[in-house]
């Protein structure tokens, strides 16, 4: 029987035939894809022809298409709709996959061919057929960098050590994510007494009741998924239950069970430190910065410190105000982390007159999604049309994306609801990336969120921003217009990738945009201008907390990746030392504690890189000023952003692209102003 993962997909737009794929297909498909890729690599490495850009660099771009296709399906499903069987396969495949990629980038014959082409890089044609060739120069530079960073230039013994470390890391990182998912699914707060849900809005209770019913239970079910725990901490009057669910959240994968990540993450940190030393770097942080815009950990710390100073002053003021409010309400306890959101919500409601129950009905999921689509249409001329294609889960919806002139751009999938088979958080991924190497390949992009599945699904403001954020990533993938697959869309430096997503968040709160999508889900009434004014006025409220909890996680990330292998502290010791060094107040915890910090421990890309959100926020806040100056939907500005950022992928240095769009280097002032952290705010 033909393996559908390896066969030609005779489906609309080449979407994977999900219904034909079962778990038994993956391992044989991977083995066949590994074998095919090995043969392609061997043909390039053993060629008797002198190495050239085309027969070496471009040939490598063409190689591995089968592995890319199989991997895209498998790794997307292990994130979005996993099972015990898929997790077991993943545990077996990841070390094999890591070993395969390591053997590619440490292949000495192949590296010698790349090295010879690289030695002639200055002579590489700047133009080809009249087309600027900066993408070819960047492609060669990046390919050579991958080989060097994989250890290709090391001695045989060191190279083998790096390969072994990469294989061990692949297994440990998979285990880390699996443990987080298991512990997340393992905690349930089931409340049966109505008195214990006092203070919680009706929409939150409805979602909690639906969650309980989905498990065959009665009452109200809350979990430590962000979309469930956040409203509970904001509104639940029962302080004891707030503490219970909060402690469960911060102890995720840090309990005395089989899902404990304390030693797993220390092993990851030690192995990364050992690999960095072999690669002649002082730390894993230095190793990772070498391939980022920031370049050095010192520059990252300088940025973090410059924002930390005003943020820490502001959070101290906020804490004092909350403590005053506790006393005013008759409380005789010290402000604790599980109190912060509850009392903040009280003050927010009173100061700005914003009641969650009055606002959320205006943010129906479908309306917010359509609002994001409309922003893309007005900025870039693209339209999203619902289309019937194969999907992997009933929650997934599909859209055909077309340009202003009717040209087909790609397929956009949305998967917005939480479920036990889906990892937490929100992200953008792809089943196929855009390229124009041998033919025009149109992308298949997916946005994933974890909103509570309720009818109607009403979003809070953080969730609205999340949807717009991931949509920005989606546009980066959809509007990519590059020749080479490895340069497509979001395949940019880690601290540049958040620019398109974060700049998109700005439009979500613009009055002109809000009036278009913020309509009452029952009456259809457009949100009132006075409510919009209050929402915008509240944007800088509690930013001391929001900024310090995020920055604290950045410092924690940098601390783990600055250690020596032989001097790896315990989780509790490192967390305590890292937080004491910045003076984080007791009432605030880092956004993520170590044992469930999936950004940095389930893969290398965000390790020593969680700072990239704030680095990119400097860019997005500064970049959005261009739209404020020239017009929210100014076509020249939008076209410049599309041409110089969204379409370019990794074809040029990111700072060059930003300067071309903005006309100058970014400035930090707009970021501080947008967060309300300037002296006069």
Q: Would you please indicate which residues are annotated as catalytic (active-site) residues?
A: 470
> Helix 134-150 crosses helix 108-119 at what angle (to 10 degrees)?
140
HSE (side-chain half, CA atoms, 13 Å) at 375: 27
Check whether the bond before 234 is cis (ω within 30° of 0).
no
- Helix/strand/coil for 494: coil
Rounded to whole angstroms, how far apart are CA atoms 212 and 633?
A: 44
Strands, E assignment, 309-422: 383-386, 397-402, 408-417
Q: Taking a C-beta distance cutoff of 8 angstroms, is the pair 404, 419 a contact?
A: no
Nearest residue to 98 via CA among 174, 178, 181, 177: 174
Strands, E assignment, 394-523: 397-402, 408-417, 427-432, 444-451
HSE (side-chain half, CA atoms, 13 Å) at 597: 32
Nearest residue to 480 via CA among 431, 449, 504, 445: 445
Rounded to whole angstroms, how far apart are CA atoms 502 and 559?
A: 25
In terms of C-beta distances under 8 Å and separation of at least 24 residues, what long-range contacts does 116-120 make, across chains too? 116/50, 116/51, 117/51, 117/52, 117/53, 117/56, 117/57, 118/144
Q: Taking a C-beta distance cutoff of 8 angstroms, is the pair 570, 263 a contact?
A: no
Q: Taking a C-beta distance cutoff of 8 angstroms, is the pair 190, 220 a contact?
A: yes
Rounded to whole angstroms, how far apart are CA atoms 499 and 495?
A: 8
- Count of other CB atoms within 10 angstroms of residue 653: 15
């Amino acid at each position: 029987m033909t393996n559908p993962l390896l066969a030609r997909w005779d489906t609309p737009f080449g979407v994977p035939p999900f219904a034909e794929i079962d778990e038994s297909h993956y391992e044989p498909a991977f083995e066949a894809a590994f074998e095919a890729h090995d043969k392609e690599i061997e043909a390039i490495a053993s060629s008797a022809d002198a190495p050239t850009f085309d027969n070496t660099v471009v040939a490598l771009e063409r190689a591995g298409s089968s592995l890319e296709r199989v991997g895209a399906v498998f790794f997307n499903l292990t994130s979005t709709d996993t099972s015990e069987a898929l997790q077991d396969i993943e545990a077996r495949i990841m070390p094999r996959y890591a070993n395969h990629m390591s053997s590619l980038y440490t292949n000495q014959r192949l590296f010698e061919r790349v090295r010879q082409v690289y030695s002639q890089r200055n002579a590489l044609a700047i133009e080809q057929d009249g087309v600027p060739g900066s993408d070819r120069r960047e492609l060669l530079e990046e390919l050579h960098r991958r080989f060097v960073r994989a250890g290709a230039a090391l001695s045989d013994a060191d190279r083998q050590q790096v390969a072994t470390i990469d294989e061990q890391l692949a297994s440990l990182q998979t285990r880390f994510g699996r443990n987080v998912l298991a512990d997340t699914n393992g905690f349930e707060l089931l409340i049966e007494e109505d008195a214990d849900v006092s203070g919680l809005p009706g929409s939150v209770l409805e979602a909690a009741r639906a969650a309980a019913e989905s498990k065959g239970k009665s009452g109200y079910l809350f979990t430590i998924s962000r979309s469930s725990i956040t409203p509970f901490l904001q509104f639940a009057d029962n302080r004891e239950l707030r503490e219970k669910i909060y402690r469960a959240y911060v102890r995720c994968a840090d309990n005395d069970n089989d899902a404990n990540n304390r030693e797993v993450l220390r092993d990851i940190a030690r192995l990364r430190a050992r690999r960095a030393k072999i690669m002649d770097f002082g730390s894993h942080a230095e190793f990772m910065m070498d391939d980022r815009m920031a370049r050095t950990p010192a520059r990252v710390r300088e940025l973090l410190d410059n924002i930390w100073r005003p943020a820490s002053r502001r959070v101290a003021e906020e804490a004092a105000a909350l403590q005053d409010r506790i006393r005013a309400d008759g409380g005789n306890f010290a402000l604790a982390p599980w109190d912060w959101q509850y009392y903040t919500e009280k003050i927010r409601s009173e100061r700005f007159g914003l009641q969650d129950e009055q606002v959320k009905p205006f943010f129906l999921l479908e309306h917010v999604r359509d609002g994001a689509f409309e922003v893309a249409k007005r900025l870039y001329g693209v339209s999203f049309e619902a289309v019937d294609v194969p999907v992997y889960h009933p929650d997934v919806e599909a859209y055909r994306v077309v340009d202003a002139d009717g040209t087909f751009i790609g397929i956009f999938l949305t998967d917005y609801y939480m479920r036990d088979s889906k990892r937490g958080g929100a992200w953008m991924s792809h089943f196929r990336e855009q390229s124009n190497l041998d033919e025009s390949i149109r992308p298949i992009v997916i946005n994933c969120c974890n909103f509570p599945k309720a009818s109607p699904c009403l979003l809070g403001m953080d969730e609205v921003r999340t949807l717009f954020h991931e949509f920005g990533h989606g546009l980066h993938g959809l509007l990519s217009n590059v020749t080479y697959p490895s340069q497509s869309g979001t395949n940019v430096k880690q601290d540049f990738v958040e620019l398109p997503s974060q700049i998109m968040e700005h439009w979500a709160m613009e009055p002109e945009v809000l009036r278009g999508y913020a309509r009452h889900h029952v009456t259809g009434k457009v949100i009132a201008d006075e409510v919009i004014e209050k929402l915008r006025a509240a944007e800088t409220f509690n930013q001391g907390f929001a900024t310090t909890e995020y920055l604290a996680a950045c410092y924690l990330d940098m601390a783990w990746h600055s250690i020596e292998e032989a001097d790896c502290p315990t989780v509790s010791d490192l967390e305590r030392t890292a937080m004491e060094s910045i003076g984080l107040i007791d009432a605030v915890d880092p956004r993520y504690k170590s044992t469930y910090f999936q950004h940095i421990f389930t893969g290398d890309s965000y390790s020593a890189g969680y700072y990239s959100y704030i680095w990119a926020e400097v860019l997005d806040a500064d970049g959005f000023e261009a739209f404020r100056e020239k017009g929210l939907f100014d076509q020249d500005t939008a076209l410049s952003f599309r041409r110089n950022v969204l379409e370019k992928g990794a074809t040029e240095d990111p700072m060059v692209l930003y300067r071309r769009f903005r006309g100058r280097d970014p400035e930090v002032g707009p970021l501080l102003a947008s967060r309300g952290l300037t002296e006069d705010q």
